[in-house]
Structure 1
Amino acid sequence: MSRLARVFTFGGTDDSPARLRRLMGMSLGLIYLFYPLSDVTDGRVSGAQAVWRVIALAVFVAVYLTVVLGPRDLDRHPRWMFALLGVATAMGAAFPLLFGSSTWLALAVYLAIVYAMALQPRRALLAIAGMAAIVVVDGNLIGADGDMLWTLLLQVVTLGVLFMSVRNTRVLIDQLRQARSEAVRLAAAEERLRIARDLHDLLGHSLSLIVLKSELAGRLSEQASPKVAQEVADIESVARQALVEVREAVTGYRRRSLADELDGARAALAAAEVAPTIRTADTPLPADLDELFAWAVREAVTNVVRHARATRCEIELSYDEAGAVLEVTDDGRAGPYGKAPGGGAGSGLTGLTERVNAAGGTVVAGPVTAGTGFRLRVTVPRVPRVPRVTGTTGPGLTRTPDADRLTA
């Protein structure tokens, strides 16, 4: 946007165009401030009195412009501005009496406008009433014409109320800008959180599989097994796929497929020498639940592969009128492992819980029996509800007694 365009719009990132715009808007109104000089221009006043009137009007205009072109923060004006307002008010009340001319009563109109723009509505109304009182009192003291007094009173009130509306509009515009900036900031923060969470889930699963494949390839190489080449090829394939998934997650185009995740879970468990058992009922799921439970399967299987030291893993998924339920159970050790450094839930389970919680569901994690096995249960009702949070392992996470084994 060009500088000239910013002058005539509410755009612009600095205050200079705003001040120039305000100055241009006031320039037409300032013409009426020269009415007090009519006594000088028509020759009724000359000499020293004429000089003093010109100086007085110049001082008032200087103070008026300083206040109007001051800081735009309508609710946090500096103290010096209110001091200048006091000086301008004193001049507006004293000059009509000092020079004995009703034309100087027009200063009260400008002061009413300034107060309407500078003060909160209640205080602005009191200030406008004060300006109206100055017009009435000074006008009666100098014997001003009655019609002129009524005209000035009408201008003080109407213009004061009008510019109070202008001020309120400016306040609303500023608040709208702040709200828009805050919305942009929150959206950026949410997107960063999404990327961080997706990268953790994607890389945690893929890198775990790479580690397993690498360890297996190392053992086979010691035995001079012909399967080494195949395992190395698998490592390369998984690494390439992880790179693709990271790119897709960053761009926001990736959508988790439950069927693909179940296939990947079967392969990852087999590579870790864990016998998989997968049972599904009444699937496929709706698109939103399909993606959610795909993440749940990936997180649960990653936990089993990394930490459980299990020999068997069962994955059961059902979907009926009540909703969808996923259970992942292994016969490995019950914990504690996979905790975050602070002792709470790891970021993987926390991220999964946040997703399930947002869908109105719950996550329950805990050992199957004392010291043996671990179960992760994800439940999402068909009709979303506000989940109840019990336990202390993470937002929206329900932890069963002695549930110490959490994912990283």
Structure 2
Amino acid sequence: MSWTHRMTFGGTREDSSRYRRLFGISFGLIYLVFPVAEIVSGEVTGTKAVWAALSLIAFVVSYLATVLSPRNFREPSPSTYPLLALTITLAVGSALVFGSGWLSLPVYATVLFSMILPPRRAGLGILAMLAVVVGCGLLHDDDGTTIAILGLQVVTLGVLFIGVRNTRVLAQQLRDAQGEVARLAAADERLRIARDLHDLLGHSLSLIVLKSELAGRLAEDSPRALKEIQDIESVARQALTEVREAVTGYRQRSLPEELDNARSVLRAAGVEPLVRISGTPLPGLLDGLFGWAVREGTTNVVRHARARRCEIEVTYDGEHAILEIMDDGQGKEPFRLGSGLQGLTERVRGAGGTVELGPGARAGFRLRVLVPAGAAA
């Protein structure tokens, strides 16, 4: 389940995060007192005052919309970037046109850079806003003390909020890691139960079957006893079959489970997953095989790809089942077929399918598994 749909008692987590952001930035809006004072005091008059008021209102609306736009601290939504660009344009333009009282607007832009962009790009944004403050201050003949104070605010607030953003990213990664640990613990417990069930109950039932066969041979002279013994043997064999089927179900992870696991693992590793499924549900054999392929392919991406994005696509049209895992990694080491992918290749070939491994069309690596439905059956 994606982060935008996780529910809390008071609504979605995203709604709660937006309320906290809104509460936090409400204190920072006090710096707008300087441009407001210029308009109210009459320092800016006539048409220029009207344009100043409209510019300030537009900046506040754009700033709030940017702050409240949906994001998960790792990567903003596509709608955030246009809003950020509009807010920066209004901040820089107002500082250039209206003078010293408006130099606080680039400080707000610095906060947005620090909270939205990764540290390296945020640092470039902070330097750009510092240049805007110094340049606009000199252009409007502001005193050096004012320029120095505002420049110091740009740098200190920028560094501060970069730290805040990094802390939140680390906290989110910790929550993801805790969830992954819990999931792995549950999976290990399932395997333990399956192993114990097979070792204990399976052994006992097998022994009952063997003893029933022996008793049946010894009781051939008594038809009634022979029939009862054969019934015991039949029930024991049926129970043994059901135990083995139950153990197989415990040990085998389905494709949907592996896709959910892949999303969690990739996000915990800082890789944005994109999963697409088309066609009808896979039959049992293909479901387990593709689940194994997703697990091995995802492990390969996390360990070797150094990717930022990974696409997983599953297609089944009733005749062919196709799995493709593509990443945008920039790893410089040559691709090597490890033991996991080697085992996967052997299993796929055993089911009558093919595996393609190698560089992607544009970047990164690509794993493609194709299995004919008839061969798998």
Task: Give the conservation status (yes or no) of the 8 Å contact 1:216–1:231.
Answer: no
CA 1:166–1:12: 2 relative to 1, 3 Å: farther
Question: What is the match of residue 140 of structure 1?
Answer: 138
Task: Give the conservation status (yes or no) of the 8 Å contact 1:37–1:53.
Answer: no
CA RMSD after TM alignment: 3.8
Q: TM-score, normalised by structure 2?
A: 0.55
For the residue of structure 1 that corresponds to 2:89, the secondary structure is helix
Deviations 1:383-405 (A, max 9, x none): xxxxxxxxxx9xxxxxxxxxxxx
Counting only pairs closer than 5 Å after superposition, residues 276-315 of structure 1 correspond to structure 2 as: none
Question: What is the match of residue 22 of structure 2?
Answer: 23
Cα distance between partner residues in 1 of 2:13 and 2:216: 63
For the residue of structure 1 that corresponds to 2:13, the secondary structure is coil
State the one-letter code of the partner of 2:162: M
Larger radius of gyration: 1
Unaligned runs of 5+ in 1: 1-5, 243-248, 250-340, 342-392, 394-408
Question: What is the match of residue 287 of structure 1?
Answer: none
Question: What is the match of residue 123 of structure 1?
Answer: 121
Cα distance between partner residues in 2 of 1:136 and 1:88: 19
State the one-letter code of the partner of 2:28: G
Q: How much has 1:12 moved relative to structure 2?
A: 8.2
Q: How much has 1:93 moved relative to structure 2?
A: 1.6
Deviations 1:152-179 (A, max 9, x none): 1111111110001001101101111111
Cα distance between partner residues in 2 of 1:14 and 1:98: 40
Task: Give the conservation status (yes or no) of the 8 Å contact 2:107–2:129.
Answer: yes
CA 1:231–1:78: 2 relative to 1, 3 Å: closer
1:191 pairs with 2:189? yes
Counting only pairs closer than 5 Å after superposition, residues 1-400 of structure 1 correspond to structure 2 as: 14-99=13-98, 101-224=99-222
Cα distance between partner residues in 2 of 1:71 and 1:161: 23
State the one-letter code of the partner of 1:90: T
For the residue of structure 2 that corresponds to 1:71, the secondary structure is coil
Aligned length: 239
Q: TM-score, normalised by structure 1?
A: 0.51
Question: What is the match of residue 328 of structure 2?
Answer: none
Unaligned runs of 5+ in 2: 1-7, 241-246, 248-284, 286-342, 344-377
Task: Give the conservation status (yes or no) of the 8 Å contact 2:69–2:77.
Answer: no
Deviations 1:277-297 (A, max 9, x none): xxxxxxxxxxxxxxxxxxxxx
Cα distance between partner residues in 2 of 1:82 and 1:229: 79
Cα distance between partner residues in 1 of 2:153 and 2:24: 18
Q: How much has 1:86 moved relative to structure 2?
A: 2.2
Task: Give the conservation status (yes or no) of the 8 Å contact 1:220–1:227.
Answer: no
Cα distance between partner residues in 1 of 2:226 and 2:79: 81
Cα distance between partner residues in 1 of 2:188 and 2:96: 64
Deviations 1:89-129 (A, max 9, x none): 22222112222x31100001111111111122222111111
State the one-letter code of the partner of 1:49: K
Q: Percent identity?
A: 50
Task: Give the conservation status (yes or no) of the 8 Å contact 2:73–2:169.
Answer: yes
* Structure holding more helix per residue: 2
Cα distance between partner residues in 1 of 2:109 and 2:203: 70
